[in-house]
């Protein structure tokens, strides 16, 4: 392979992206402008198709790969690619796939790790960084890269701003140096909990605004849901130890606005489908992508109930998704709640 003249920004030369869905592919394409990037996916046939077409026709059609991007169906080859010291490993699967993916990395020598998934793990109620610690141990330098970023726009090279959250300053610096540049700005944060809670719960709220918009309830209702949704994120996030200002930033309010209002959002599209009366399995099948807000609504409902945190919009979404509540009932229940003080309180 020819050397990329722009590579090795910030010391990072080799990057492996594990997970070849829409977001993993878009991130791999963006980073391949500056680094030697290998994109691994778990489906060998899909990888063969990508290698042939130089495009991810299944998950990110219409966006040709840059010349420097390599794809690999061989997990060992992807790990060997990041065996050197100037390397970054990016886990780009959904939350449900994070634990199984990390299990494959256990007892292997791995470099700095960054994960892109947004949600709480169903069953355990854990955030991604807690799963990473549980599986790989506390000694691994890792962080969450999050923020308002539709894969299709990043693949087109349109501008976006992200946040890398980690308790390791060295990891934050490494990721900023490796990813910041061109049309991508990267901010840093020490608030892993706040960043991950914002990214997780905004998906549930995007389903809620999709329902409201699908029912034709108007822009006032949408603005109310987004704002009270932010209060919900902040209540849960601070109860878990996140910082209030994080929820006003890119990974809180920023991603919430994007996902609740942008029709590229898969979660918003789930809400629009529910409002049309479509069954959830049909919506998910038509989507062909993960909609993290679906399992996350259930995980958050359970976690918030255990912690005594009031999450009315999340509960209403979970009711429609899992308890057979009608979308119209969801809205009337929210409207019928007792009046209260607007400030965020538990
Ligand atoms: N698509 C987007 O615009 C953005 C997505 N995200 C987050 O990134 C995560 C991934 O999303 P997408 O790539 O868009 O989903 P997607 O539905 O387009 O693709 C998911 C990919 O993950 C793979 N996968 C599932 N389990 C796996 C496992 N155990 N090991 C390896 N691969 C596995 C699937 O085969 C598929 O290729 C989600 O948590 C999502 O919320 C974050 C920012 C933007
Ligand atoms: O997280 C995202 C944008 O920041 C993508 O949102 P969806 O998963 O709803 O498409």
> Complex ipTM, two decimals?
0.98
Q: For the chain, give the percent of residues with pLDDT over 70.
A: 97
* Minimum-distance ligand 2 atom for the alpha carbon of 149: 4
* Cβ pair 205, 229 in contact under 8 A: yes
* Minimum-distance ligand 1 atom for the alpha carbon of 98: 29
For residue 317 the two structure tokens come to: 């979404």
Our CA angle for 57, 63, 64, nearest 5°, is 90
- Looking at the CA of 26, name the nearest ligand: 1
- Looking at the CA of 94, name the nearest ligand: 1
What pLDDT was estimated at residue 4? 38
Ligand 1 surroundings by CB, under 6 angstroms? 19-24, 41-43, 59, 92-95, 97, 100-101, 116-119, 149-151, 289-290, 292
Nearest CA to ligand 1 atom 20: 21
Between the alpha carbon of residue 345 and those of residues 191, 227, 229, 238, 239, the distances in Å are 20, 14, 13, 10, 10
What pLDDT was estimated at residue 5? 39
For residue 288 the two structure tokens come to: 């062909």
What pLDDT was estimated at residue 2? 33
pTM: 0.96
What pLDDT was estimated at residue 104? 96
Ligand 1 centre distance from Cα of residue 292 (Å): 9
Lowest mean pLDDT among 62-71, 184-193, 204-213, 334-343: 334-343
The 10s digit of each residue's pLDDT in 85-97 is 889 999 999 999 9
Q: Is 150 in the pocket of ligand 2 (CB under 6 A)?
A: yes
pLDDT at 109 over 60: yes
Q: What is the mean pLDDT of residues 184-206?
A: 98
Beta strands in 73-217 (DSSP E): 87-91, 112-115, 142-146, 160-165, 184-189
Measured distance CA(230)–CA(254) in Å, rounded? 10
Nearest CA to ligand 2 atom 8: 266
Candidate of 16, 21, 40, 283 to mutate for ligand 1, largest count of ligand atoms within 8 Å of Cβ: 21
* Minimum-distance ligand 2 atom for the alpha carbon of 267: 9
Helix (H) or strand (E) holding 78: helix 75-81
What pLDDT was estimated at residue 107? 84
For residue 130 the two structure tokens come to: 């807690």
Q: What is the residue-averaged pLDDT of the chain?
A: 94
**344 — pLDDT class (breaks 50, 70, 90):** confident
Concerning whether 7 is annotated as a catalytic residue, the answer is no
Q: Which residues line the annotated binding site for NAD(+)? A: 19-24, 151, 266
* Minimum-distance ligand 2 atom for the alpha carbon of 150: 3
Ligand 2 centre distance from Cα of residue 118 (Å): 9
What pLDDT was estimated at residue 346? 63
Candidate of 144, 203, 206, 209 to mutate for ligand 2, largest count of ligand atoms within 8 Å of Cβ: 203
Going by C-beta distance under 8 Å and a sequence separation of 6 or more, which residues neighbour residue 279?
none
Q: Which residues line the annotated binding site for substrate? A: 118, 266-267
* Cβ pair 40, 72 in contact under 8 A: yes
Measured distance CA(105)–CA(292) in Å, rounded? 23
Measured distance CA(92)–CA(24) in Å, rounded? 5
Task: Parse the chain into domains and list their residue ranges.
Answer: 9-190, 197-335
Q: Is 203 in the pocket of ligand 2 (CB under 6 A)?
A: yes
What pLDDT was estimated at residue 111? 82
Lowest mean pLDDT among 50-64, 213-227, 246-260, 331-345: 331-345
Q: Is 232 in the pocket of ligand 2 (CB under 6 A)?
A: no
Q: What is the mean pLDDT of residues 212-236?
A: 97
Q: Is 200 in the pocket of ligand 2 (CB under 6 A)?
A: no
For residue 18 the two structure tokens come to: 């594990």
Rounded to the nearest 5°, which phi and psi values hold at 223? -65, -40
Q: Which residues line the annotated binding site? A: 19-24, 42, 59, 118, 147, 149, 151, 202, 255, 265-267, 290, 292
- Total length of the chain: 346
Quick one: 180 exposed, middle or buried, by C-beta within 10 A (0-12, 13-18, 19+)?
middle
Quickly list DSSP for 98-135. HHHHHHHHTTS---EEEE---SPPTTT---HHHHHHHH
Rounded to the nearest 5°, which phi and psi values hold at 17? -105, 120
Beta strands in 19-111 (DSSP E): 36-40, 70-72, 87-91
pLDDT greater at residue 73 or residue 330: 73
What pLDDT was estimated at residue 8? 43
* Active-site residue, from 202, 278, 298, 343: 202
Question: Which three-class secondary structure state does DSSP give residue 275?
Answer: helix
Between the alpha carbon of residue 208 and those of residues 12, 149, 269, the distances in Å are 40, 20, 10
Architecture of domain 9-190 in CATH?
Answer: 3-Layer(aba) Sandwich (3.40)
Quick one: which of 59, 47, 57, 135 has its CA closest to 99? 135
For residue 63 the two structure tokens come to: 């966006």
DSSP assigned state of 60: B
Question: Which three-class secondary structure state does DSSP give residue 44?
Answer: helix
Nearest CA to ligand 1 atom 26: 97
Going by C-beta distance under 8 Å and a sequence separation of 6 or more, which residues neighbour residue 38?
14, 15, 16, 17, 70, 71, 72, 77, 78, 81, 82
Measured distance CA(300)–CA(309) in Å, rounded? 10
Q: What is the CATH number of domain 197-335?
A: 1.10.1040.10
């Amino acid at each position: 392979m020819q050397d990329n003249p722009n590579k090795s920004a910030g010391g990072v030369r080799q990057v492996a992206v594990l997970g070849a869905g829409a977001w993993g592919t878009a991130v791999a394409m963006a980073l391949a402008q500056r680094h030697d990037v290998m994109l691994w996916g778990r489906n060998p046939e899909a990888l063969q198709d990508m290698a042939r077409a130089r495009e991810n026709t299944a998950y990110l059609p219409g966006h040709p790969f840059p010349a420097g991007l390599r794809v690999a169906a061989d997990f060992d080859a992807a790990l060997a690619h990041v065996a050197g010291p100037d390397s970054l490993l990016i886990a780009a699967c959904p939350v449900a796939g994070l634990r199984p993916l990390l299990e494959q990395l256990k007892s292997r020598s791995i470099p700095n790790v960054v994960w892109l998934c947004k949600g709480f793990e169903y069953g355990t109620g854990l955030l991604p960084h807690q799963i990473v610690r549980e599986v790989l141990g506390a000694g691994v330098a890792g962080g969450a890269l999050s923020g308002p970023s539709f894969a299709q726009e990043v693949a087109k090279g349109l501008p976006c701003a992200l946040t890398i959250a980690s308790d390791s300053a060295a990891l934050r610096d490494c990721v900023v140096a490796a990813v910041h540049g061109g049309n991508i700005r990267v901010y840093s944060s020490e608030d892993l909990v706040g960043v991950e809670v914002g990214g997780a719960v905004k998906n549930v709220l995007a389903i809620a605004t999709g329902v409201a918009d699908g029912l034709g309830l108007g822009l006032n209702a949408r603005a109310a849901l987004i704002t009270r949704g932010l209060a919900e994120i902040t209540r849960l996030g601070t109860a878990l130890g996140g910082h209030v200002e994080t929820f006003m930033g890119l990974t809180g309010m920023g991603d919430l606005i994007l996902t609740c209002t942008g029709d590229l959002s898969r979660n918003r599209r789930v809400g629009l489908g529910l409002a049309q009366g479509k069954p959830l399995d049909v919506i998910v099948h038509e989507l062909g992508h993960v909609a993290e807000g679906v399992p996350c609504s259930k995980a958050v409902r359970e976690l918030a109930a255990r912690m005594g945190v009031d999450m009315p919009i999340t509960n209403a979404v979970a009711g429609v998704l899992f308890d057979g509540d009608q979308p119209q009932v969801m809205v009337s229940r929210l409207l019928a709640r007792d009046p209260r003080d607007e400030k965020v309180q538990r």
